[in-house]
Amino acid sequence: MTEVPSAIVVRDLRKVYGAKAAVDGLNLIVPQGCFFGFLGPNGAGKTTTIRMLMGLAPPTSGTIELLGLPMPAREVEIKSRIGVVPDESLLFDHLTGPEYVEFVGRMYRLPRGVARERARELIALFELDNSSRKLIGEYSKGMRKRVAMAASLIHRPQLFLMDEPFEGVDAVGARLMKDILIDQVRQGATIFLTSHVLEVVERLCERIAIIHDGKIVTEGNISELRSGSESLEDLFVRVVGADRIAESPAWL
């Protein structure tokens, strides 16, 4: 059987802030062409990890390879082949949605006419054309996520890095975004996402890793990790050690 190449290879990755290791010795391999969920409780190190993968935060130590290329030595080439959905605060509030998507296309060196046409098509695909004259600063959180995902698609990347892509998105928007992402995986792309919405991860992802206190505590195929009939939520609670029953105050 032919071995599937890796989209992401992380070895002994650490990120230290002051005396605290936000990410502490991370080792992870994500095969190409899969939907991969990167999960963890608040403060576990998810966002720090994905910021390092995106090139937004330099590691303290360890190595990162994306699509077979080392970061940061081949950073420019890597970034030409990945699509990023960052925190919504990183968008440009003083551009309209179409202007922002076109701008991202131009940053990926698409010809102006191609970038403009693709931006128009993507804005329509994500059902944002009724708000095409609005500045992104006037967008709701869900609309910001949609425009960020539209921009991530414009250069047809091979790998998507997504930080909470469904946060604040309504059910209709989330369904639309999920269908688009599933189609990208069918075409051979790899999707690496963080999310607190475990039902979405359970429905979409083939493989997951769960990080806790900066370390991977479990990783693998969801069906193999679950015990018996437990849900992904049950698995998550079990492996992060949060299965005790909280006692409410007497007055509550």
DSSP 207-223: EEEEEETTEEEEEEEHH
- Residues 156-182 have pLDDT tens digits of 999 999 998 988 888 888 889 899 999
What are the residues whose beta carbons fall under 8 Å from the beta carbon of 53, sequence distance 6 or more?
A: 8, 10, 64, 66, 71, 161, 192
Q: Tell me if the bond preceding 59 is cis, omega within 30° of 0.
A: no
pLDDT tens digits along 2-60:
577 999 999 999 999 988 999 999 999 999 999 999 999 988 999 899 999 999 899 99
Q: Mean pLDDT, to the nearest integer, of 183-187?
A: 94
Rounded Cα distance between 131 and 76, Å, is: 33
Q: What is d(CA 228, CA 230) in angstroms, rounded to the nearest whole number?
A: 6
Q: What is the pLDDT of residue 205?
A: 92
pTM for the full predicted model = 0.90
pLDDT higher than 60, residue 141: yes
Question: Which pLDDT score is estimated for 149?
Answer: 93
Which residues on adjacent β-strands are paired with residue 222?
none
CATH 3.40.50.300 residue window(s) in the chain: 1-81+159-243
Name the CATH topology of 1-81+159-243: Rossmann fold (3.40.50)
